[in-house]
Amino acid sequence: MKKQGKRKSYGGRALSGLLVLCLLFGMLPTAALAAEEESQDGGTPSVVCAELEGCTGGTHDESCPLYAEEESAGKDALIPAEPTATEQVAALIAALPEYADAMPDDIAAIEVAQTAYDALTVEEQAAVDPELVSKLADLVELAQEMGLILSENNAVSTYAVNTITTDTTWSGAVTLNDDLTVKENVTLTLGAQVTISGNVTIKGGGFIKRATGYTGTLFDVPSGASLTVENLTIDGGAVYGDADSSKEQQVTVGYNCQSDDAVSGIKSTGSLIRVDGGSLTLENGAVLQNNFLLSTAQTYPGASGSAGALGAGVGIINGGNFQMDGGTITRQVAGGGSAVYCGGGSTFVLNGGEITKNFSGYNSSGGGAAVHVVSSTFTMNGGKISYNACHNNTAVAVQGADPQFTMYGGEICYNYGAGGNYGTIMATNGTAGTLKVDLLGGHIHHNRGHIGGAIVTYGAAAVTIAGDCEIDNNTGKIDYACANIISVENTGTLTAFCPSQRPLVPCPSGHPAQTQRPPNQRPDLGSITTV
């Protein structure tokens, strides 16, 4: 039998070790009681409260490890988290103005917000506040009206159509090469000239006016450009005095403008529209009004070649073209051609609309009619020239080399002249056989001239009246005893082919008027032929 050895006892040793550990534990600082506890899963130990005297009510004593943990967390909280793409887009949209307050200057910011929104993923877009998404959609639509064109995916591509929806001022010079819409009850104020480039239409029912302090031309249409104006008012800024009821000229136009002092507001040095080799068309609803040219202005050359205050409404030069299909030119004041000056081989065609209540001449002399044609062509197919006044030629003055006025239709009526006025239609200063006035239709009536109530030719001018042209109820100034329709002076000729029911009453040779005026002021009458 094998001898069994003696078993060693380990229980006493373990107990002794435990007692040593307890002794050592008791010698540690109190804060060590908050030492890291080992996590139950054997992972990273966690920090626990030491339950010191200052550890009450959710706060910790400075000696507690959790006090340092709390302080560290507070410092981390001061560093904001980076905003997400969704939050950034939401901030961009929130910063945009409300729909009612948006201006054309906001288009760029709307563009940025729309582009950023489009760059989001579908999930990110869904996380944007629906009210902000709706706000952006409304502003993008408004931006399109104000001049922003979006491509098919709504990304901004270019600016093209200009739409003015709120009162706006263009203080500097502008080149306009796209259509312009000025909405109804909205005013665009111009502080410098707008030059037209390409084919441009301006419309919308709004109002364009000259800014205080700016006196020059509002729109310039150079060669190669064309401008169409429809359903829109262009205003020169002049404010006229009340008409003197004792002065027929002022009663005719309805205001007093017979001196610079009689006018307040803006006194200009340039036309509302200058057509310098380009083309202009006025359509229905277009109104050109309230432009007063200073008597010292030098806008366009007259028949003598010297520049004068001509063409307050529209000035056409250098082969330009003006076609008036509708609209109104009114309350324009100039030395001559108050409504329209047509010179330099240019063309004016009147198809419709009205040229009315314009004044040519200032104090007691001068004035070259509402429409002044110098070495150019004026064709009247329709429309009306009415209630204009001046000191010389009330409605139409035709002068210079190779000018032509042809009337096929329309009316010239109720125009008034006094002082040195010659007639409602004046053909003068031409050379033999080159100045022609052909009245082939239309109605010339109730005009008041000075020498001839309807037509006066002075110098070498050929006037033909034929077809369906009606001339009646026109009068000349009584003190010249020439209260008739036609007066022909010097080498002018008139040939009439009017039906018997509309007879002409010319100023014949031997008329008493000749004896009341010195021969050197009123030479022998030219030839008159009535057929």
User: What's the pLDDT score for residue 520?
Assistant: 34
Average pLDDT score over the chain: 77
- Dist. CA 374–CA 346, nearest whole Å: 9
User: What's the pLDDT score for residue 5?
Assistant: 39
Q: Answer yes or no: are the C-beta atoms of 112 and 136 closer than 8 Å.
A: no
Listed residue (365, 420, 414) closest to 389, CA to CA: 414
Q: Which residue has the higher pLDDT, 61 or 289?
A: 289
Q: What is the mean pLDDT of residues 318-328?
A: 97
Q: What is the mean pLDDT of residues 383-390?
A: 93
User: What's the pLDDT score for residue 289?
Assistant: 97
Confidence band for 365, pLDDT divided at 50, 70 and 90? low
Q: Answer yes or no: are the C-beta atoms of 471 and 506 closer than 8 Å.
A: no
User: What's the pLDDT score for residue 66?
Assistant: 67
Confidence band for 275, pLDDT divided at 50, 70 and 90? very high
Q: What pTM, to 2 d.p., does this model score?
A: 0.68
Structure tokens at 510: 């031997």
Q: Answer yes or no: is pLDDT of 287 > 60.
A: yes
Model confidence pLDDT, tens digit, residues 12-52: 444 445 544 454 445 444 444 444 444 455 555 566 776 77
Question: Can you say whether residue 305 is alpha, beta or left, with left for phi > 0 and alpha for psi between -120 and 50 degrees?
Answer: left
Strands (E), 119-262: 148-150, 156-159, 162-164, 168-170, 174-176, 180-182, 187-190, 194-196, 199-203, 207-210, 219-222, 226-229, 232-235, 238-240
Q: Answer yes or no: is pLDDT of 219 > 70.
A: yes
Confidence band for 10, pLDDT divided at 50, 70 and 90? very low
User: What's the pLDDT score for residue 301?
Assistant: 77
Model confidence pLDDT, tens digit, residues 68-109: 555 555 555 555 678 898 999 999 999 999 988 887 778 878
User: What's the pLDDT score for residue 149?
Assistant: 41
Q: Which residue has the higher pLDDT, 526 or 464?
A: 464
**Which class for 174: exposed (0-12), middle (13-18), buried (19 or more C-beta within 10 A)?**
middle
Q: What are phi and psi of 397, to 5 degrees?
A: -120, 130
Which residues, other chains included, contact 18 with Cβ-Cβ below 8 Å and sequence gap of 6+? Answer: none
**What are the domain boundaries of the chain?**
85-159, 162-421
User: What's the pLDDT score for residue 230?
Assistant: 97
User: What's the pLDDT score for residue 432?
Assistant: 53
Q: What are phi and psi of 90, to 5 degrees?
A: -60, -40
Q: Answer yes or no: is pLDDT of 336 > 80.
A: yes
Q: Answer yes or no: is pLDDT of 505 > 60.
A: no
User: What's the pLDDT score for residue 494?
Assistant: 64
User: What's the pLDDT score for residue 303?
Assistant: 64
Comparing 313-317, 426-430, 463-467, 475-479, the range with the smallest average pLDDT is 475-479
Q: Answer yes or no: is pLDDT of 269 > 60.
A: yes
Confidence band for 433, pLDDT divided at 50, 70 and 90? low
Taking the CA atoms of 444, 447, 452 and 456 in sequence, report the sign of the dihedral they define.
Answer: negative
User: What's the pLDDT score for residue 478?
Assistant: 44
Model confidence pLDDT, tens digit, residues 446-496: 888 766 677 777 667 777 887 788 887 777 664 443 434 455 555 566 666
